[in-house]
Amino acid sequence: MNDPGISKERYLQIARRFGLTARQLELGYLKVSGFSNRRIAYMLGISEQTVKNHFTAIYEKAWVPGRAEFKELFSDNGGGG
């Protein structure tokens, strides 16, 4: 796996606050671990467009405009404290 920079337990502690589905939680963790949409799609056996659709919903639920801001939620300086 890529360098996650965050434990799965900590990720889940923060991400569950947004009301994400189990699949969205899984995709979100892969994203904050540094995987690309293409790689996530390959790993999960779904299309890259499906991954993008999931992330559109994830970003809306987390109230962030995109990937960088989503990752920031889980950094030491982010809003996950």
Domain boundaries defined on the chain? 8-72
Burial label for 5, CB within 10 Å (0-12, 13-18, 19+), is: middle
Cβ atoms of 55 and 31 closer than 8 Å: yes
The CATH number of the structural domain formed by 8-72 is 1.10.10.10
**CA 42, CA 79: separation in Å to the nearest integer?**
30
For residue 28, the model assigns a pLDDT of 96
Tens of pLDDT along 2-59?
A: 555 788 999 999 999 999 999 999 999 999 999 999 999 999 999 999 999 999 999 9
**pTM for the whole structure:** 0.85
Cβ atoms of 32 and 2 closer than 8 Å: no
